A = this chain, B = another copy of it.
């Protein structure tokens, strides 16, 4: 029979998977000689055996528990259930990965009709003893016997009423004894058993209850959310009680070895005299700052604790979160663990620890959660304002940041108001490319439909604009220009606030805190850059985005979409002229006008990027995206363009597609209308020549053909582009290096990548579309069921957020191998949303891509994640 129970003295910090986090750390502290109340840990193996055994503890386990209990009695010199010097214990869960508040705890176990008297004597406080006893019975009834709390509350209220006690503290010993009698009756009535007077029976029942709580509903949900495996099991810690509430020389507190908000290297904590741990948390009394402890007992406890805190931090080589209690002037440690911290604190602490010689740079890199960095790059709401604000609804936290402004329901109106200097929030059922300007000029975007990779979400992230998407609770009435949420009607012009970090929507204005990049941020990034192999590029469509990304450390553009350039007011009408042209000649006339704009656009981007490689994707969306769709807008456009309404309407209908995602778009457009790509190629090279000449820099354009599914498409279009480029260079009497490559975003392109590679200088995996095609669902439509898929554990992650390694990843690997088999030096990167996702970046590192490209605000995340990927790979 395996060893299922370990005295604290027998364990250490490396036994987490067996003893749980709490148990291992208690053992470790004991091992290094710190004052920890004695106890023992029942292992996770025991928990798993319990479930395997049909939820039976088994005689052997019980035997081991009682052996350790006897040993505990010896060590503490107390006896379980003793009338004079009773041993009382806490029974706490302790999972391998912390699940705070998810599982059950029983305190003061060991109290019964005898031992309560002993406690009264020991504490010299009869009331305290009986109040503890009553609380224990209630906790036992609740946790172990699943009796609804209100049953006990009713008894309490009754007795308070009959004894005229206003507060719990007014209850006399007699009243408490009556409550205890009645509590026992509740237990008898509801659980059908007598309250167990035998502390050993109490203990066994409590252990079983803690094991059971591993699989309670909220624990399961928590594990699902946090990707914690369900078969880890929990350990149970049985520890002799110490009391911080044994009078004015007792107390309890919590402290961090450094400031968890700022990272400052100074112990940060709070304590309460004559209180138990719960009291600090409950906030009934205001705790004191740890510094005040200096004045208590001539600083005895303070000095001892400070020594221990330093010792623990050095020992664990990281900032610690410590719980302590002092009973009658004696200090005990109840827990230590690595402390949670803000991103800013994490950066500062990691850098400080390296400078203090406590950890290596690599360790510092690994200490930062890349996802947390986002906090540093976007404004957040002031916590005070936030706590007071009225929540209206919750959507998806689609793009980080926090923003307040007046509500507008159309892009035009939002632009108009924003231009007048007001802050605006654009609220739409869903956004479309026509909303770009309104999205750009608003502080934030709120949509009722669409997932994490809907148009609104993708564009907002790209712009670094705050966005809450898919907020289904919102009932938007675009006609009435209002929405209803949380029972409140919000009309056009009303103020709301949206939190892109949490997905919450609030009424009114909330103050925000601004971005603050401390020196440590730069230091960590520098270390990450030294370590990483992957290049980090950005997805940027405007000079402003490009500049933001370069400031964040981008080394090139991996994806510059050209279609957004056509939506600005002065361009869309020319674009529409182009689309509505009946002949190639008319089309070319319109394209000639667009050329002027495009060249300007590209020149701006080249100027922002300098000699960094810049990948420009030629026109991708289906043409109907540029046309209006409802009859009124069509009429208005027909009037504006002075063309026949019916003709326009027919053209719109003709271009309408059943599945636009799977329609006439990308390079397919250029096969039909080569003149579009010709214009774009000419504009790219024209701009590159111009900027190269003016700035004297070597602009490095990389022309990318989207949506290739067949090598022949690329062959034809590469020839077309090259011819145009060479002609443009010749006309400009200039020479410059350029590449022509393709997106790999269609499964067929990946499957035939050896053929495709023959005509490509580079591959860039468009993992958004590739994920859509590989799974056979669109980002927009999958929102309806993807949450359910995650709940049912079909998907571990949203495949649009984290790359699906088995499916999409297998296509990427295939394409990588096939591509390189034909061209050894084929440049290969990724430019989908996944380019900024740490887990996906790990995959990119593992298979050996050259670069990842992500939205500007994710560049720092990607830099860090790329460094971590190298370290992980080498482990």
Cβ contact within 8 Å between B794 and A751 = no
Give the nearest-CB partner of A772 in chain B: B662
A769 is an interface residue with CB less than 8 A from chain B: yes
Give the nearest-CB partner of A771 in chain B: B748
A661 is an interface residue with CB less than 8 A from chain B: yes
8 A Cβ contacts from A735-794 to B:
745-748, 751-752, 755, 769, 772-778, 780-782, 784-785, 788-789, 792-794
Q: Mark A700-739 against chain B: 1 for CB-CB distance below 8 A, else 0.
A: 0000000101101100100000000000000000000000
Measured in the bound complex, the distance between the Cα atoms of B752 and A806 in whole Å is 7
Give the nearest-CB partner of A804 in chain B: B748
A299 is an interface residue with CB less than 8 A from chain B: no
A769 contact set on B, CB distance < 8 A: 776
Give the nearest-CB partner of A754 in chain B: B806
Q: A753 CB to closest chain B CB, in angstroms?
A: 11
Cβ contact within 8 Å between B658 and A807 = no
A780 contact set on B, CB distance < 8 A: 657-659
A668 is an interface residue with CB less than 8 A from chain B: yes
Q: A609 CB to closest chain B CB, in angstroms?
A: 30
Q: Mark A323-336 against chain B: 1 for CB-CB distance below 8 A, else 0.
A: 00000000000000
Give the nearest-CB partner of A807 in chain B: B748
Q: A633 CB to closest chain B CB, in angstroms?
A: 18
Cβ contact within 8 Å between B746 and A662 = no
Interface size class of A (residues with CB under 8 A): 35 or more
Measured in the bound complex, the distance between the Cα atoms of B469 and A396 in whole Å is 44
A373 is an interface residue with CB less than 8 A from chain B: no
A681 is an interface residue with CB less than 8 A from chain B: no
Given known A-B contacts A785-B671, A794-B671, A748 and B709 have beta carbons under 8 A apart: no
Measured in the bound complex, the distance between the Cα atoms of B712 and A707 in whole Å is 30
A660 is an interface residue with CB less than 8 A from chain B: yes
Measured in the bound complex, the distance between the Cα atoms of B804 and A778 in whole Å is 23
Measured in the bound complex, the distance between the Cα atoms of B789 and A712 in whole Å is 10
Cβ contact within 8 Å between A792 and B671 = yes
Q: A868 CB to closest chain B CB, in angstroms?
A: 27
Candidates B662, B668, B710; contact of A662 at CB < 8 Å: B662
A848 is an interface residue with CB less than 8 A from chain B: no
Cβ contact within 8 Å between A781 and B671 = no
A747 contact set on B, CB distance < 8 A: 747, 773-774, 776, 807, 811
8 A Cβ contacts from A211-269 to B:
none
**Most chain B CB neighbours (cut-off 10 Å) among A664, A774, A806:** A774
A658 contact set on B, CB distance < 8 A: 660-661, 778, 780-781
A296 contact set on B, CB distance < 8 A: none
A420 is an interface residue with CB less than 8 A from chain B: no
> For the complex, would chain A's binding face be called helix, strand, loop or mixed by DSSP majority?
helix
Cβ contact within 8 Å between A660 and B659 = yes
A808 is an interface residue with CB less than 8 A from chain B: yes
A663 is an interface residue with CB less than 8 A from chain B: yes
Cβ contact within 8 Å between B751 and A806 = yes
Measured in the bound complex, the distance between the Cα atoms of B709 and A808 in whole Å is 11
8 A Cβ contacts from A647-661 to B:
657-661
Measured in the bound complex, the distance between the Cα atoms of B782 and A664 in whole Å is 7
A810 is an interface residue with CB less than 8 A from chain B: yes
Cβ contact within 8 Å between B808 and A777 = no
Measured in the bound complex, the distance between the Cα atoms of B777 and A668 in whole Å is 10
Cβ contact within 8 Å between B776 and A672 = no
Q: A388 CB to closest chain B CB, in angstroms?
A: 35
A775 contact set on B, CB distance < 8 A: 709-710, 746, 748
Candidates B751, B777, B804, B810; contact of A774 at CB < 8 Å: B751
**Most chain B CB neighbours (cut-off 10 Å) among A660, A710, A772:** A710
Measured in the bound complex, the distance between the Cα atoms of B786 and A662 in whole Å is 13
8 A Cβ contacts from A168-214 to B:
none
Q: A480 CB to closest chain B CB, in angstroms?
A: 14
Candidates B659, B778, B811; contact of A781 at CB < 8 Å: B659
Q: A769 CB to closest chain B CB, in angstroms?
A: 7
Candidates B662, B752, B807; contact of A751 at CB < 8 Å: B807
A785 contact set on B, CB distance < 8 A: 664, 668, 671-672
Q: A803 CB to closest chain B CB, in angstroms?
A: 12
**Most chain B CB neighbours (cut-off 10 Å) among A746, A755, A793:** A746
Q: A335 CB to closest chain B CB, in angstroms?
A: 38
Cβ contact within 8 Å between A712 and B793 = yes
Measured in the bound complex, the distance between the Cα atoms of B624 and A411 in whole Å is 30
Measured in the bound complex, the distance between the Cα atoms of B746 and A773 in whole Å is 8
Measured in the bound complex, the distance between the Cα atoms of B751 and A769 in whole Å is 17
A752 contact set on B, CB distance < 8 A: 806-807, 810
Candidates B660, B661, B751, B773; contact of A810 at CB < 8 Å: B751
Measured in the bound complex, the distance between the Cα atoms of B782 and A804 in whole Å is 28
Q: A771 CB to closest chain B CB, in angstroms?
A: 9
Cβ contact within 8 Å between B663 and A746 = no
Measured in the bound complex, the distance between the Cα atoms of B748 and A144 in whole Å is 47
Candidates B657, B661, B748; contact of A808 at CB < 8 Å: B748
Cβ contact within 8 Å between A662 and B659 = yes
Q: A478 CB to closest chain B CB, in angstroms?
A: 12
Measured in the bound complex, the distance between the Cα atoms of B778 and A660 in whole Å is 9
A789 contact set on B, CB distance < 8 A: 671
Q: A352 CB to closest chain B CB, in angstroms?
A: 45
Measured in the bound complex, the distance between the Cα atoms of B668 and A792 in whole Å is 12
Q: A586 CB to closest chain B CB, in angstroms?
A: 19
8 A Cβ contacts from A805-833 to B:
806-808, 810-811
Measured in the bound complex, the distance between the Cα atoms of B769 and A781 in whole Å is 17
Q: A870 CB to closest chain B CB, in angstroms?
A: 27
Cβ contact within 8 Å between B659 and A795 = no
Q: A175 CB to closest chain B CB, in angstroms?
A: 49
Measured in the bound complex, the distance between the Cα atoms of B785 and A776 in whole Å is 22
Q: Mark A663-676 against chain B: 1 for CB-CB distance below 8 A, else 0.
A: 11000100110000
Measured in the bound complex, the distance between the Cα atoms of B667 and A789 in whole Å is 12
Q: A806 CB to closest chain B CB, in angstroms?
A: 5
Cβ contact within 8 Å between B664 and A776 = no
Cβ contact within 8 Å between B662 and A661 = yes
Measured in the bound complex, the distance between the Cα atoms of B716 and A657 in whole Å is 34
Q: A871 CB to closest chain B CB, in angstroms?
A: 29
Measured in the bound complex, the distance between the Cα atoms of B769 and A747 in whole Å is 13
Cβ contact within 8 Å between B748 and A781 = no
Measured in the bound complex, the distance between the Cα atoms of B712 and A775 in whole Å is 13
Give the nearest-CB partner of A783 in chain B: B664
A745 contact set on B, CB distance < 8 A: 776
A660 contact set on B, CB distance < 8 A: 658-659, 781
Cβ contact within 8 Å between B795 and A710 = yes
Cβ contact within 8 Å between A776 and B671 = no
A795 contact set on B, CB distance < 8 A: 710
**Most chain B CB neighbours (cut-off 10 Å) among A709, A710, A747:** A747
Measured in the bound complex, the distance between the Cα atoms of B778 and A745 in whole Å is 15
Q: A654 CB to closest chain B CB, in angstroms?
A: 9
Measured in the bound complex, the distance between the Cα atoms of B132 and A729 in whole Å is 59
Give the nearest-CB partner of A707 in chain B: B776
Give the nearest-CB partner of A811 in chain B: B751
Q: Mark A390-416 against chain B: 1 for CB-CB distance below 8 A, else 0.
A: 000000000000000000000000000
8 A Cβ contacts from A39-61 to B:
none
A659 contact set on B, CB distance < 8 A: 659-662, 778, 780-781
Measured in the bound complex, the distance between the Cα atoms of B799 and A751 in whole Å is 15
Pull 29 A–B residue pairs with CB atoms less than 8 Å apart, ordered by A: A657-B778, A658-B660, A658-B778, A659-B659, A659-B778, A659-B780, A659-B781, A661-B662, A663-B781, A664-B784, A668-B785, A671-B785, A671-B792, A709-B775, A709-B777, A710-B807, A712-B794, A745-B776, A746-B775, A747-B747, A747-B773, A747-B807, A747-B811, A748-B775, A751-B807, A752-B806, A752-B810, A755-B806, A773-B774
Task: Give the top 3 A-B pairs by smallest Cβ distance, nearest first.
Answer: A748-B807, A662-B778, A663-B781
Contacts A709-B807, A745-B776, A748-B807 aside, 14 further interface pairs with beta carbons under 8 A come to A657-B781, A662-B662, A663-B777, A663-B784, A671-B785, A671-B788, A671-B789, A671-B792, A710-B775, A712-B793, A746-B776, A748-B775, A751-B811, A773-B776
